[in-house]
């Protein structure tokens, strides 16, 4: 880690004023401190925003506004999140360990970097994300954890967040504040696919800060929602794949459907094609399978992750069948 | 200042110093262990204002104005072992002992999380009241602490014994 200055921001305006061009905002540090120590990232200053207001409040219209510095553990334990947004509570609890959830902030979770081991290996591996134009050692390397959707010949890394998969499924909105003022970006538009510039991961502008996340009012499909994560061991591991699903039925037909996938792409993947295919259909396992297969038509597996296609299919069918309950 | 086991400590001049290195290298409180130094093993778990955190990924500067408790500070003024330390001895919750300080700090905070009703990934009904401390719940909640000797069964038994003692 190169020498740096530590600044504790007194409020949001203070943080924005002091971050400068080479500074970084510091939340829980569970990813950034590690990246700095491994020399994957460099910063001249860290502006600590982890002690800024961390409120969770209901807003007009019935949604929820979550400050960016709220800890993952606090959000997962919040009574409103547990009762009205179960998919989000479960996704948060699926991520990392209790210690890390106590440290990690909501804003930092959204901005965490891929766990591709070639990205982390600053001394020994080629990575277009870390060093544009260097090449990608994951393409022909150990790519069991890598993407099957939306990747490019420059980068096949996945986004590691569980929380973001639930936020994508919920149509959450990211609140931003920066030198040019405040703006809001749907979570689904916040992360970008790698294309020819895998070093660009989000639409965040220089000096811009995530200030909060807005959840929509709960609907029937959000109230009846679940998150299932499949990993190499039963706890404290990143997802091979994950599925966030929400479903509501009336008269034996699907009236609302929400599906998002994790561990398959450089961003949380909203399975819009599958959702479209299921609206108005009877909620049967066969229909669920046909729909998710339609979503995966463009999947391009690598040498080590073709199993993800079948795994996404089976997990999606299992989640939706469970949500359909006795009606499936 | 940082309050470490009740004693006020100045934060280090170099902002890069982790809370773990402050404890071990500057204060010579070597009970807290450095395993992976990248947030994967839990050996460096300490209590920060009562919550369990990883000292390796916490910058010491971030602990300014806060209360840090390590394995050395669990028994307070007396030399007696903490009830969970006694339970670890009775239930063979260790072999080499390297992960033990982290396991014990972690489990003490976990008991408080259970008491206030925080759910875990394996809690069936997230909206229901306080979860029951089954073995499955304890194992999931302790998954951030690895034991390479494989003493996990004894660790879970020791924690169960402590929870039973506290409830009694």
The length of chain B in residues reads 168
Q: How many domains does chain A have?
A: 2
Query: B77 φ, ψ to 5°?
Result: -70, -30
Say whether A103 and B61 touch across the interface (CB within 8 A): no
ipTM for the whole complex: 0.98
Reported as type and span, the H/E element at residue A274 is helix A272-278
Q: Would strands B45-48 and B67-69 be described as parallel, antiparallel, or unpaired?
A: antiparallel
Q: Would strands A209-215 and A56-58 be described as parallel, antiparallel, or unpaired?
A: unpaired
What's the pLDDT score for residue B167? 79
Residue among B82, B95, B99, B70 at smallest CA distance from B154:
B95
Half-sphere exposure of A92 (CA within 13 A, CB side): 32
DSSP single-letter state for residue B147: -
DSSP-assigned letters across all residues of B18-75: BHHHIIIIIS--TTS--SSSSSSS-TTEEEETTEEEETTSSBGGGGTTSEEE-GGGTT
From residue A239, give the alpha-carbon distance in Å to each of A40, A165, A242, A311, B58.
Answer: 22, 11, 6, 12, 24
For A13-27, give one letter per residue: b (16+ CB within 10 A) or e.
Answer: eebbeebeeebbbbb
CATH of the domain at A248: 3.30.390.50
List the single residue in B with minimal CA-CA distance to A74: B118
Say if CB A269 and CB A149 are below 8 A apart. yes
Residue among B58, B148, B55, B162 at smallest CA distance from B104:
B162
3-state helix, strand, coil in chain A (%, to 5): 35, 20, 45
How does the average pLDDT of chain B come out, rounded? 96
The two structure tokens encoding residue A253: 């037909």
SS3 A5: strand
Say if CB B55 and CB B19 are below 8 A apart. yes
Say whether A82 and B37 touch across the interface (CB within 8 A): no
Q: Which residues of A touch B61 (CB under 8 A)?
A: 6, 8, 48
Residue among A33, A111, A140, A55 at smallest CA distance from A267:
A111
Say if CB B110 and CB A98 are below 8 A apart. yes
DSSP single-letter state for residue B97: -
Whole-angstrom distance, CA of residue B115 vs CA of residue B133: 10
Question: Is pLDDT above 80 for B168?
Answer: no
Q: CB count, 10 Å around CB of B125?
A: 10
The two structure tokens encoding residue A206: 């220089």
pLDDT tens-digit series, residues A154-192 = 999 999 999 999 999 999 999 999 999 999 999 999 999
What's the pLDDT score for residue B77? 73
List the single residue in B with minimal CA-CA distance to A97: B144
CATH of the domain at A24: 3.30.43.10
Distance in Å, alpha carbon of A165 to nearest chain B alpha carbon: 16
A168 belongs to a structural domain: no
A56 belongs to a structural domain: no
Say whether B143 and A236 touch across the interface (CB within 8 A): yes
SS3 A53: coil
Of A8, A82, A97, the CB nearest to B42: A97
**B121 vs A2, higher pLDDT:** B121
Say whether B118 and A77 touch across the interface (CB within 8 A): yes
Say whether B39 and A48 touch across the interface (CB within 8 A): no
A115 belongs to a structural domain: no
Distance in Å, alpha carbon of A105 to nearest chain B alpha carbon: 13
Half-sphere exposure of A75 (CA within 13 A, CB side): 37
Whole-angstrom distance, CA of residue B88 vs CA of residue B86: 5
Average pLDDT, integer, range B140-168 = 95
Which domains are present in chain B? 2-73 (3.10.20.30), 83-167 (1.10.150.120)
Distance in Å, alpha carbon of A64 to nearest chain B alpha carbon: 17
What's the pLDDT score for residue A216? 98
The two structure tokens encoding residue A301: 């597996």
Q: Where among A20, A35, A50 does a domain terminate? A: A50
Distance in Å, alpha carbon of B61 to nearest chain A alpha carbon: 7
What's the pLDDT score for residue B130? 86
Of A175-189, B38-52, B77-91, the range with the lowest mean pLDDT is B77-91
The length of chain A in residues reads 328
Domain that holds residue A18: 5-50
What's the pLDDT score for residue A327? 83
SS3 B162: helix
pLDDT tens-digit series, residues A189-231 = 999 999 999 999 999 999 999 999 999 999 999 999 999 999 9
- A48, A86, A99, A101, best to mutate vs chain B, most B CBs in 10 Å: A99
Query: Which residues, given as ranges, of chain A have pLDDT below 70?
Result: none
């Amino acid at each position: 880690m190169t020498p740096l200055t530590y600044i504790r921001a007194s409020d949001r305006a203070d943080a924005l004023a002091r971050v400068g061009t080479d500074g970084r905002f510091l939340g829980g540090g569970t990813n950034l401190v590690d990246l700095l120590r491994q020399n994957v990232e460099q910063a001249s200053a860290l502006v600590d925003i982890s002690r800024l207001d961390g409120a969770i409040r209901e807003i007009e219209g019935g949604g929820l506004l979550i400050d960016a510095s709220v800890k993952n553990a606090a959000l997962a334990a919040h009574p409103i999140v547990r009762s009205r947004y179960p998919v989000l509570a479960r996704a948060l609890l699926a991520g990392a360990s209790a210690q890390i959830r106590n440290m990690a902030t909501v804003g930092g979770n959204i901005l965490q970097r891929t766990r591709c081991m070639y990205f982390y290996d600053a001394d020994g591996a080629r990575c277009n994300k870390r060093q544009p134009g260097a090449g990608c050692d994951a393409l022909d390397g150990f790519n069991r954890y890598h993407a099957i959707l939306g990747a490019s010949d420059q980068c096949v890394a996945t986004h590691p967040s569980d929380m973001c998969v639930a936020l994508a499924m919920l149509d959450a909105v990211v609140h931003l504040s920066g030198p040019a003022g405040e703006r809001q970006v749907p979570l689904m538009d916040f992360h970008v696919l790698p294309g020819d510039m895998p070093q660009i991961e989000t639409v965040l502008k220089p000096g811009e800060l995530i200030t909060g996340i807005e959840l929509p009012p709960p609907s029937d499909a959000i109230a009846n929602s679940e998150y299932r994560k499949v990993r190499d061991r039963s706890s404290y591991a990143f997802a091979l794949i994950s599925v966030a699903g929400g479903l509501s039925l009336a008269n034996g037909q699907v009236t609302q459907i929400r599906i998002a996938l994790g561990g398959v792409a450089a961003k949380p993947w909203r399975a819009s094609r599958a959702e479209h295919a299921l609206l108005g259909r009877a909620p049967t396992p066969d229909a669920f399978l046909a729909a998710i297969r339609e979503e995966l038509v463009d999947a391009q597996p690598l040498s080590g992750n073709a199993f993800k296609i079948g795994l996404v299919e089976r997990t999606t069918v299992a989640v939706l069948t469970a949500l359909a309950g006795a009606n499936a | 200042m940082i309050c470490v086991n009740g004693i006020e400590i100045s934060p280090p001049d170099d902002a890069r110093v982790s809370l773990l290195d402050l404890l071990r290298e500057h204060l010579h409180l070597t009970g807290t262990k450095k395993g992976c130094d990248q947030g994967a093993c839990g050996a460096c778990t300490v209590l920060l204002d009562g919550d369990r955190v990883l000292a390796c990924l916490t910058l010491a500067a971030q602990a300014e104005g806060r209360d840090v408790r390590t394995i050395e500070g669990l028994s307070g003024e007396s030399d007696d072992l903490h009830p969970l330390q006694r339970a670890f001895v009775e239930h063979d919750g260790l072999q080499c002992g390297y992960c033990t300080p982290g396991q014990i700090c972690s489990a003490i905070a976990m008991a408080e999380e259970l008491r206030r009703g925080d759910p875990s990934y394996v809690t069936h009904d997230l909206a229901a009241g306080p979860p029951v401390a089954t073995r499955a719940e304890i194992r999931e909640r302790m998954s951030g602490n690895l034991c390479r000797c494989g003493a996990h069964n004894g660790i879970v038994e020791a924690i169960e014994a402590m929870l039973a003692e506290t409830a009694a």
